[in-house]
Amino acid sequence: MAEKIRLEYEDLETTAEGTLDTRGRKGLADVPVHYRAVRLVIRIKTKATDKKLDRLAELVSRYCPVDSLIKAAVPDYTVVWERIDDSVGQCYVK
């Protein structure tokens, strides 16, 4: 997607955290065996404008099959975009 909108970046990092009740997988309780919450953090190092980063986030949310799958399967799914900026820390959060 970044290439489609001509957004250049130097680095991209992702981290994910999830909440899972393992009792369901162990057969100890009648609870879902899948994640109930997922938080994805995408950190990008770029000189692109905030507007262009907003556009990238929108396109990824709309067209990424993995994002769509998680969004459909996990009731509490959040995605946070952060700018990596060596000089001032993160100044963009979406």
Query: pLDDT tens digits, the chain, 94 residues: what are they?
Result: 899 999 999 999 999 999 998 998 888 999 888 899 999 999 999 999 999 999 999 999 999 999 999 999 999 999 999 998 766 555 556 6
Check residue 32 and give its pLDDT: 84
Residue that is written with structure tokens 């309780």 in the block: 29
Among residues 90, 1, 81, 72, the alpha carbon closest in space to that of 39 is found at: 81
Check residue 36 and give its pLDDT: 92
Distance (Å, whole) CA 54 – CA 44: 12
- Return the structure tokens found at 12: 């991209």
> What pTM did the predictor assign?
0.80
Check residue 93 and give its pLDDT: 60
- How many Cα atoms are found within 13 Å in the side-chain-facing hemisphere of 7? 21
- Strands 37-45 and 11-19, bridge-based pairing: antiparallel
Which strands form 76-83's sheet, in the order they lie side by side? 11-19, 37-45, 76-83
